[in-house]
């Protein structure tokens, strides 16, 4: 269910048509049609188990690694169907970066964490190039000032919030178009959360961001568009402002205002 | 609009408290207006003193309601219809307080009028205006509790009649004063009384608009109905 | 129930719980203590039995080395060295201590006091320092195993001569040498430096130890890559279907197969069909590799599974291919566990005898094997053979061999623990 006439005039960056996901024959998503626009933050909200994370993972085909998971439908990024058999998943994941709920830096140094992606994709020719990319990514992730003196320290020695920013730096080091964030702040304290929300706001100048969140407040603070998922369907999708002040759908209203049913 | 219960029951309790406060303010405002016009007609100045004193109660009620709204915003982070309800409560309370002030002003002027001998034929019309406006207020307050946009629209319509009646009263009073210049010392007070009642009508219309917004999430399309031509009557 | 009643019932119950816990702790402690006690008794007994094997009695004699026997430059020529009658020289020099003994029997008895390898002691001395040719040097010569046992009080002097291994006459010779302060007790390095020998006093563990090492090398080279690759395939790549389950079940069952079956397999396939050399570390290693494979596969799979999925997701998310995820991230993190499993598997294999029996590694091997296709034996086999030898001296040697094998296994396990602790990463 979309709201007509409210959408921006630009073309969608990600366009999903009839995405259906089945685990072991059980349907988790019942045909999702959703347009995500470039250089915007789109939030996906909904109760636990409603399929928002599942949908997110369809965008970079992370669901491929799960056995007995079948995805059907079309998911276009720009003009390419991501589920086309010709598509190289590895390349796709360089275009679509992902940040996870629990910060998961590699047990290596801070430098190596950020450098890993560019290295395996062959984005650099020499050490100077790599240094530049690492510095740029850490700066963009708002972590450079805190770690510039200790790039060889173990990544796991950082605080939770810093680790998550490192994961963001790692994701953007390969220069993706799209950044997927699966509840990136749920393991962090309020201040670290605010830092990352501010960061998300800055990042949307360069990237298209899709964020799954349990916190409605966060969705309201951080996003321009919000989609409400429930039991594997998308119930309502529109400008964040509208969804939170005058949702059209009764179910959305009930969820947003914390009502039963 | 019948709303389901919140998961957090304390939220529901807060909103109920808010409604109760609003109902109390509304009842007080009604009483103030009714009493002041009745006192004029029954020629009972002591009642007027009570009215003037009682306005403070209304001010206090508004302050308490404001506090409650702030508390709800801080603690419950209301969204969607809850947010609208809370903001609307703020505006309606403020409007009711202003209605109360206007009623107090009417009472003050009535005191002056009762102190002298006023010869006028307009009192029945003024009484009619008052009862119209009282009915509007009553309906509006019910519509607020029930979030009834349809009744709100009716209220907005009813203001047209009040405005028309005010124009008539204005004309009559001007005629009376030009017929008997001795009334010029006291006539204008009655003019203001009538005007205040008309203004109360306008405020109630504003309340009705808020109720419409509360229900639909948008302000009503049409302009506030105005049929008050008194400002364009040439005084010769 | 009143509050007080519930409280009393509760505290009674609490007391019962505490008593039960105390009992449990007591039983646990008792179990550990009895196990430790039994272990101590075993080890203590073994150690006590082995002590005599670590020392040997030597008689120091001044021996004149005539220049004529060999040239200094020829010392490195094996053939030339072998031509020299070292044996005769040392026996003669001992006889020189007893000029009064003239009869043939007596002379032979004196000569027999020395170990059969006494000549080698002189030879080795010349080999190390050829300049002593033409001079007289003091040489420590090993005594025969019976004399050595007598001097260690393991042969009862008070027994009548027929029942004693040493004759009365030999006794007088020995006492004479002792009185002349010629005999001293030294550490028996040859236990570690020489190969097996029929002479009890010369028998050593070297060839068996080298054989064990070579066999372990072959086992490692075969089982480690195969095991780790198989585990990676099963854990990370294979689709979860019936076939994979079947393979898993079979691997787990392999771990329970009696080891002698592997020996039979080795005999039938490697030796009879492929005609690989019998009794060689190559075949022994391959047989043991088959035995160790299930252990390594199971340990590796556990180590791989212990790597948290968040690491894999992170790597995939950045665009690593599944193979890159395995080799860049999962395998390095799983390595401590894999190493531990491998070393434990190898340590188990090092102590195996039965399968090697079947492929013939029980032969009497004197020369140290040089490479994996030479004939060799392994420590457990050597110990078994010594245990079967009726000569008195081999008793202590068997115990000494067991101690050595246990120390070896202990070191391997300690290495496993060290590696695990050092490379344990927390994530």
Instruction: Tell me, letter by letter, the H, E, C secondary structure of C109-173.
Output: HHHHHECCCHHHHHHHHHHHCHHHCCCEEEEEEEECHHHHHHHCCCCCCCCCCCCCCCCHHHHHH
CATH of the domain at C278: 1.10.3720.10
Structural domain includes residue C198? no
- Does residue C376 fall inside a structural domain? yes
Q: Which residues contact residue C306 at a Cβ distance below 8 angstroms, ignoring those fewer than 6 apart?
A: C334, C337
Residue C39 placed within a domain: no
Which CATH number among 2.40.128.50, 3.40.50.1780, 3.20.20.100, 1.20.58.220 corresponds to the domain B9-227? Answer: 1.20.58.220
- From chain A, pick out residues whose CB is under 8 angstroms from the CB of B9: none
Mean pLDDT, chain C, integer: 86
Residue at a domain's end among C156, C188, C220: C188
pLDDT of residue C377: 86
Average pLDDT, chain A: 91
Average pLDDT over residues A196-205: 92
- Chain C residue numbers touching A184 (CB-CB < 8 A): none
Question: Same domain for C279 and C418?
Answer: yes
Contact A106 C315 (CB under 8 A): yes
Interval A148-200: pLDDT, tens: 999 999 999 999 999 999 999 999 999 999 999 999 999 999 989 999 999 99
Domain ranges of chain B: 9-227
Same domain assignment for residues C270 and C358: yes
Average pLDDT over residues A34-61: 94
pLDDT digits (tens, 9 = 90+) for A90-128: 999 999 999 999 999 999 999 999 999 999 999 888 999
Residue A261 binned pLDDT confidence (cut-offs 50, 70, 90): low
pLDDT exceeds cutoff 70 at C423 = yes
Of C188, C223, C245, the one marking the end of a domain is: C188
pLDDT given at position A4: 43
- Residue C220 maps to a domain: yes
Contact C333 A107 (CB under 8 A): yes
Residue C247 belongs to what domain range? 206-425
Q: Are A245 and B7 in contact (CB < 8 Å)?
A: no
Structure tokens given for C153: 């009080």
Nearest chain A residue (CA) to B2: A250
The verdict on a CB contact (< 8 Å) between A171 and C317 is: yes
Write down the pLDDT at residue A2. 41
Q: What is the per-residue pLDDT for B115?
A: 84
Residue A8: the pLDDT is: 53
Shortest alpha-carbon distance between residue C310 and chain A (Å): 6
Rounded Cα distance, C79 and A173, in Å: 72
Looking at residue C299, what is its pLDDT? 93
Is A62–C314 a contact, with Cβ atoms under 8 angstroms apart?
Answer: no
Selection from C336, C338, C329 nearest residue C308 by Cα: C329
Q: Which residues of C touch A (CB under 8 A)?
A: 239-240, 310-322, 324, 328-329, 333, 425-427
- Give the residue extent of every domain in chain A: 5-256
Residues C265 and C370 in one domain: yes
**Per-residue pLDDT tens for C88-143?**
888 888 888 888 888 888 888 888 888 888 888 888 888 888 888 888 888 888 88
**Residue A137 dihedral angles phi and psi, to the nearest 5°:** -65, -40
From the list A99, A100, A120, which residue is nearest C319 (CB)? A120
In this structure, the answer to whether residues C159 and C247 fall within a common structural domain is no
Per CATH, the homologous superfamily of domain A5-256 is P-loop containing nucleotide triphosphate hydrolases (3.40.50.300)
Q: What are the structure tokens assigned to B180, written together?
A: 């008997």
Chains B and A touch (3+ CB pairs under 8 A): yes
What pLDDT, on the 0 to 100 scale, is given for residue B199? 95
Question: Which residue in this structure is represented by tokens 């259906």?
Answer: A20
How high is the pLDDT of residue A6? 46
Structure-token pair, residue C202: 């010369």
C380 and C296 share one domain: yes
| Residue B187: predicted pLDDT | 86
Count of structural domains within chain C: 2
Of the partner residues B6, B77, B217, the one whose CB lies closest to the CB of residue A259: B6
Burial of A68 (0-12, 13-18, 19+ CB in 10 A): exposed
* Distance in angstroms (rounded) separating the CA atoms of residues C109 and A20: 99
**A258 CA: distance to closest CA in chain B (Å):** 6
- Distance, in Å, from the CA atom of A25 to the CA atom of C415, rounded to the nearest integer, reads 49
Are C111 and C257 in the same domain? no
Tell me the chain B residues in contact with residue A254 when contact means C-beta distances shorter than 8 Å.
4
Report the pLDDT value the prediction gives residue B225, as an integer from 0 to 100: 59
Q: Tokens 């272990």 label which residue? A: C39
Of A31-40, A193-202, A218-227, C76-85, least confident by mean pLDDT is C76-85
Taking only the tens of pLDDT, chain B with its 236 residues reads: 456 788 888 889 999 999 999 999 999 999 999 998 888 888 888 888 889 999 999 999 999 999 999 999 988 889 889 999 999 999 999 999 999 999 999 999 988 888 887 788 888 999 999 999 999 999 999 999 998 999 999 999 999 999 999 999 999 999 998 988 888 888 899 999 999 999 999 999 999 999 999 999 889 886 655 676 777 776 65
Chain C residue numbers touching A91 (CB-CB < 8 A): 319
User: CB–CB of A256 and B79 under 8 A?
Assistant: yes
CB pairs under 8 A between A and C: 64
pLDDT score recorded for residue A234: 94
Name the percent of chain B lying above pLDDT 70.
Answer: 94
What pLDDT does residue B40 have? 84
């Amino acid at each position: 269910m979309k709201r007509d006439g409210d959408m921006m005039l630009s073309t969608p960056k990600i366009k999903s048509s009839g995405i259906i996901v089945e685990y072991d024959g059980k349907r988790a998503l019942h045909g999702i049609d959703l347009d995500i626009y470039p250089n915007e933050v789109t939030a996906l909200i909904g109760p636990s188990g409603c399929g928002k994370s599942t949908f997110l993972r369809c965008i970079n085909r992370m669901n491929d690694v799960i056995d007995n998971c079948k995805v059907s439908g079309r998911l276009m990024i720009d003009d390419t169907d991501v589920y086309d058999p010709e598509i190289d998943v590895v390349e796709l994941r360089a275009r679509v970066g992902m940040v996870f709920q629990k910060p998961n830096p590699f047990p290596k140094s801070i430098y190596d964490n950020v450098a890993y992606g560019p290295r395996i994709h062959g984005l650099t020719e020499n050490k100077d190039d790599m240094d530049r990319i690492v510095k740029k990514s850490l700066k963009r992730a708002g972590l450079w000032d805190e770690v510039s003196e200790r790039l060889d320290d173990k990544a796991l020695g950082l605080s939770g919030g810093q680790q998550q920013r490192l994961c963001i730096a790692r994701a953007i080091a390969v220069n993706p178009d799209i950044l997927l964030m699966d509840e990136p702040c749920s393991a962090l304290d309020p201040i670290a959360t605010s830092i990352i929300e501010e960061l998300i706001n800055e990042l949307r100048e360069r990237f298209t961001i899709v964020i799954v969140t349990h916190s409605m407040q966060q969705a309201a603070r951080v996003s321009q568009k919000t989609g409400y998922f429930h039991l594997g369907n998308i119930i309502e999708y529109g400008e964040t402002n509208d969804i939170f002040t005058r949702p059209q759908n009764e179910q959305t209203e009930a969820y947003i205002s914390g009502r039963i049913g | 609009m019948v709303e389901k219960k919140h998961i957090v029951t304390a939220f529901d309790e807060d909103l109920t408290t808010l409604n109760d406060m609003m109902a109390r303010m509304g009842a007080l405002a009604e009483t103030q207006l009714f009493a002041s016009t009745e006192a004029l007609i029954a020629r009972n100045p002591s009642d007027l003193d009570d009215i003037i004193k009682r306005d403070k109660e209304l001010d206090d009620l508004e302050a308490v309601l404001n506090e409650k709204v702030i508390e709800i915003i801080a603690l419950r982070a209301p969204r969607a219809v809850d947010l609208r309800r809370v903001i609307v409560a703020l505006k309606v309370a403020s409007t009711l307080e202003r209605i109360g002030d206007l009623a107090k002003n009417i009472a003050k002027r009535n005191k002056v009028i009762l102190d002298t001998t006023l010869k006028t034929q307009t009192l029945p019309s003024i009484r009619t205006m008052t009862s119209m406006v009282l009915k509007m207020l009553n309906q509006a307050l019910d519509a607020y509790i029930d979030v009834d946009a349809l009744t709100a629209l009716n209220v907005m319509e009813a203001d047209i009649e009040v405005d028309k009646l005010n124009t008539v009263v204005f004309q009559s009073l001007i005629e009376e004063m030009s017929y008997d210049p001795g009334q010029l010392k006291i006539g204008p007070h009655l003019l203001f009384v009538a005007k205040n009642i008309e203004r109360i009508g306008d405020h109630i219309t504003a309340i009705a608009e808020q109720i419409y917004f509360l229900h639909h999430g948008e302000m009503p399309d049409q302009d506030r109905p105005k049929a008050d031509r008194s400002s364009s009557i040439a005084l010769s | 129930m009143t509050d007080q009643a519930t409280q009393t019932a509760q505290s009674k119950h609490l007391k019962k719980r505490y008593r039960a816990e105390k009992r449990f702790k007591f039983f646990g402690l008792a179990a550990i203590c009895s196990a430790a006690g039994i272990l101590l008794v075993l080890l203590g007994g073994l150690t006590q039995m082995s002590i005599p094997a670590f020392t040997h009695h030597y008689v120091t004699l001044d021996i004149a080395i005539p220049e004529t026997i060999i040239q200094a430059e020829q010392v490195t020529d094996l053939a030339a060295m072998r031509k020299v009658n070292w044996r005769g020289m040392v026996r003669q020099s001992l006889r020189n201590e007893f000029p009064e003994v003239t009869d043939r029997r007596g002379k032979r008895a004196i000569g027999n006091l020395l170990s059969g390898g006494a000549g080698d002691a002189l030879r080795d001395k010349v080999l190390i320092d050829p300049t002593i040719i033409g001079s007289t040097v003091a040489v420590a010569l090993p005594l025969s195993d019976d004399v050595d046992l007598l001097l260690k009080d393991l042969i009862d002097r008070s027994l009548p001569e027929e029942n004693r291994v040493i004759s009365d006459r030999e006794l007088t010779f020995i006492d004479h040498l002792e009185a002349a302060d010629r005999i001293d007790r030294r550490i028996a390095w040859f236990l570690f430096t020489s190969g097996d020998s029929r002479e009890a006093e010369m028998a050593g563990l070297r060839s068996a130890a080298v054989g064990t090492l070579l066999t372990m090398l072959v086992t490692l080279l075969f089982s480690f890559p195969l095991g780790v690759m198989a585990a990676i395939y099963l854990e990370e790549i294979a689709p979860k279907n019936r076939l994979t389950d079947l393979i898993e079940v079979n691997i787990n069952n392999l771990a329970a197969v009696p080891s002698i079956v592997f020996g039979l397999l080795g005999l039938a396939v490697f030796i009879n069909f492929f005609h690989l050399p019998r009794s060689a570390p190559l075949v022994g290693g391959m047989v043991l590799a088959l035995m160790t494979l299930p252990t390594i596969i199971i340990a590796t799979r556990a180590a791989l599974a212990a790597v948290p999925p968040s690491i894999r997701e992170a790597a995939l998310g950045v665009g690593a291919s599944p193979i890159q995820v395995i080799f860049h991230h999962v395998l390095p993190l799983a390595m401590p566990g894999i190493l531990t499993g491998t070393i434990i598997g190898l340590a188990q294999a090092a102590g195996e005898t039965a399968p090697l029996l079947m492929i013939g590694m029980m032969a009497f091997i004197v020369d140290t094997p040089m490479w994996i296709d030479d004939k060799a034996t392994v420590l457990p086999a050597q110990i078994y053979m010594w245990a079967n030898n009726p000569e008195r001296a081999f008793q202590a040697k068997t115990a000494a061999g067991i101690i050595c094998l246990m120390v070896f296994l202990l070191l391997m396990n300690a290495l496993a623990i060290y590696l695990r602790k050092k490379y344990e990463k927390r994530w």
